[in-house]
Amino acid sequence: GRVVKGIDVVRAIAQVETMTKYGVMEDWPIDDIIIESITIIHSS
């Protein structure tokens, strides 16, 4: 898919500090990230 609106939010999420969780999951956000709403547009 692609982002058509809100790329600033995507970039902000990409910049959060991360850690390794359970020894195998890399890039796990240290603080929870909560996305309050999204809209999925299906193209034909």
- Partners of 25 in beta bridges: 21
Q: Is the pLDDT of residue 4 over 80?
A: yes
Residue 19: the pLDDT is: 94
Amino acid identity at 22: Y
How far is Cα 31 from Cα 8, in angstroms, rounded to an integer? Answer: 19
What pLDDT score does 20 carry?
Answer: 94
More confident residue, 2 or 13: 13
Q: Whole-prediction pTM value?
A: 0.67
Helix (H) or strand (E) holding 9: helix 7-14
Domain that holds residue 5: 1-44
- Residue 15 is predicted with a pLDDT of 96
Q: What is the mean pLDDT of residues 4-9?
A: 91
pLDDT single digits (tens) 8-38: 999 999 999 999 999 888 999 999 999 999 8
Total domain count, the chain: 1
Calpha distance 26→10 (Å, rounded) = 18
